[in-house]
Structure 1
Amino acid sequence: MEKLILNGKLIGREQASIDIEDRGYQFGDGIYEVIRVYGGRLFANEAHLRRLYSSAEKLSLDIPYTAQELTEQIEALVRGNGLDTGIVYLQFTRGAAHRKHSFPEKSETVFVAYTNELERPLHQLEHGIQAVLTEDIRWLRCDIKSLNLLGNVLAKQKAAENGCGEAVQHRGEIVTEGSSSNVFIVKNGELITHPLSNLILNGITRQVILDICEKQQLPVREETFTIRQLFDADEAFISSTTSEVMPVVQINDQKIGSGKPGAVTRKLQGYFKERMDQLTKAITTGPAE
């Protein structure tokens, strides 16, 4: 029987129910995280939870658990469902209350978490994906990982309708990020990605990549770049929890660089895989920290 977490309790999925006046359902008044699982272990869990609490603080939303308590619950969920490779989805809403736009005077936070099996996208990682450009129409607090995802959904749908794996968004001439990913370009061996601001989400895989660049002394700049720079790049890739370091070989009708995954992207994929291997190797060397 598949299990999920509802308000701190591990229960069967068929036992779960949410009030129809839950503010997440009616207003998108909530936050979420998606944590990758490799070999039954949570990848970059601490970074995900830091971002979760940051999003909650920005929305004045209470999370009634410590990071350690959340980690213990999530790990129990992964074990309970026997998940080896996949994701854990976590969601917190402001809870159920009579419908009005302002915060209710009294409501209890609703916490839901569940798992899904999801293999690594090995074919796409090897060969790359195509992307489509689209205007970034989202709200101006993209730094909050909120449930307000309609702009992202419309961008992703445009990608799907064009047979593409991602939509690369831009505000005017400035490239921001993908519909569910961060965007990097490579020019003359140097990585460039949009700096942190309210216009992008501080992706966890983005953070891992920047840490790898620092440790491996790979040149990287966090600054804005234009659509023209994107098309003139030697390489491009997106990063996300489920996409990892994903080469982008064509955008609209134009190839990026040689039209194949580039050397810098390949190098980063290798370093990222080493991080994964270190995580799964820990299974045989000791318990989770």
Structure 2
Amino acid sequence: MSVVTVPDETTPAQPAARSRTGRTLTLNIAAVAIGLAGWSALAAIGVQGLPGPIVVAQRAGELIADGTLAGDVLASLRRVLIGFTLGTALAVPVGFLMGWYAVARGLLEPYVQFFRTIPPLAIIPLAIVLLGIGEVPKIFVIFLAAFLSSVVAAFQGVVGVDRTLINAARVLGASDRTIFIKVVIPASTPFILVGMRVGLGSAWGTLVAAELIAAQEGLGFRMQQAQLYYDLPTIFVGLITIGVLGLAMDRLLLLADRHLTAWQERR
């Protein structure tokens, strides 16, 4: 009796996925190399005293050696993580309330849309007056930036759920609670994660201004101090460090996105 072997349909997909990952990594490395080459060329021709990669790397080594960079990174990371975590933790339930309940939407949406038009940086003077010059106003400004970016994504995720799925669940006898947990939350998860990525970018973008509030350490504080002495290498070290940290955190969110929304078809 002959045995019929059924081909594994997932087998071709795995090499294809590895091929895409390898191609993307190669392109990323090429992009970094091209960027460094362009930066070196601009520095070599003396564009506005622009420091080259080697000078910036030497300055980074000095800041690492004396512990300055590590202290600044820890201070900035602490502020961003606390503000971002609090902002998204509040944004998700508020977005769900606005999307699921019409009364909550009517009450909350005007405030959300109103504050979205006000840059978080414009809140800094008010934050200083009301909250003082400690850590609280710095974290509050970052929290506000993350919250306003994430709440709209969560809200849009709920209202964008396919009504056919909800109606089918109702026909099958599912309660509102079951529909919300089994249908709405999974369907809106991609929107929430995109909103978190945008909120993370807003949090890092607000960091430098937030550290204007009587900070004594932090990447933004160090860059502002370097500006006073026209210390361009230190400014570049701060910029690159913020970019690398932000990119690493964004990639972690992207991994979470792929894990939590593995059911989505991807290109």
When the two structures are superposed, what TM-score results if normalisation uses the length of structure 1? 0.24
Question: For the pair shown, which has the larger CA radius of gyration, 1 or 2?
Answer: 2
Question: Which has the larger share of strand?
Answer: 1
When the two structures are superposed, what TM-score results if normalisation uses the length of structure 2? 0.25
Higher relative contact order (CA 8 A, sep 6+): 2
